[in-house]
Amino acid sequence: GAGVSQSPSNKVTEKGKDVELRCDPISGHTALYWYRQSLGQGLEFLIYFQGNSAPDKSGLPSDRFSAERTGGSVSTLTIQRTQQEDSAVYLCASSSSQGKWDIQYFGAGTRLSVL
Amino acid sequence: GENVEQHPSTLSVQEGDSAVIKCTYSDSASNYFPWYKQELGKRPQLIIDIRSNVGEKKDQRIAVTLNKTAKHFSLHITETQPEDSAVYFCAASRRDTGRRALTFGSGTRLQVQP
């Protein structure tokens, strides 16, 4: 694929339900990032993967949020017991980490609406 | 942690005029400063970036300047066109640590009036 792919593009769920968001990075990119963008706001960092490990999880807002990455490729962000304040666009980015100055390329995001 | 402030939050210019967006950062160890453009409903796209070893970088109508002493950097768009209308985000990161995540400003909505 040419770019970062995210699915679903839209997700509507009821408060209290669990959701899974998927990110497929650019082939060969070892670094993967999750960000959250609330309406009219900037992007807020959630978690960073290098390969399958997550050296930085400092942005996860609560223990309801978790993420994993398998095979150094696809990542899944899981939100348990969703709350209305979880409504946002969840963006994934990947980079090659070939050097210090790797550019992050973003996916189109998953728009999550919690009713 | 890093904190990035961005101003103004909205900016309206006439086609052909210049636009300037300013950001300040708090972590003196930050050394990478990208700018992203996000059109309505689209993904953020990198338009230009600057590294801490240079003070200015130019790419056609877009330029970015960095003042490490004052910890601020700016985006300059000259000869603005209607297609420049979008939200622009500045960001900062430390590229030489295990935390490569970007800290973003809150965004500037640029409107170019034809």
Q: Percent of chain A beyond pLDDT 90?
A: 77
Residue-wise pLDDT tens digits, A66-106: 999 988 899 999 999 999 999 999 999 999 866 556 789 99
Residue-wise pLDDT tens digits, B4-62: 999 999 999 999 999 999 999 999 989 999 999 999 989 999 999 998 888 999 999 99
Mean pLDDT of B71-96: 94
- The whole-number pLDDT of residue B1 equals 81
- The whole-number pLDDT of residue B101 equals 87
- The whole-number pLDDT of residue A99 equals 59
Handedness of CA A111, A33, A26, B47 (dihedral sign): positive
Residues of A near B (Cβ–Cβ under 8 Å) read 4, 31, 33, 35, 40-45, 48, 50, 55-56, 58-59, 91, 95, 97, 100-109
Closest alpha carbon to A61 in A74, A42, A80, A76: A80
| Residue position matching structure tokens 């980079």 | A95
- For residue B83, pLDDT over 60 is answered with yes
CB atoms within 10 A of CB A109: 25
Backbone angles phi, psi at B98, to 5 degrees: -70, -10
CB atoms within 10 A of CB B111: 14
CA distance A48 to chain B (A): 7
- The whole-number pLDDT of residue A66 equals 97
Nearest residue of B to residue A3 by CA position?
B43
Structure tokens at B89: 């985000």
Q: Percent of chain B beyond pLDDT 90?
A: 83
Mean pLDDT of A10-20: 97
Number of Cβ pairs < 8 A linking chain A and chain B: 66
CA distances from B94 to A46, A104, B101 (A): 16, 14, 8
CB atoms within 10 A of CB A28: 11
Q: Percent of chain A beyond pLDDT 70?
A: 95
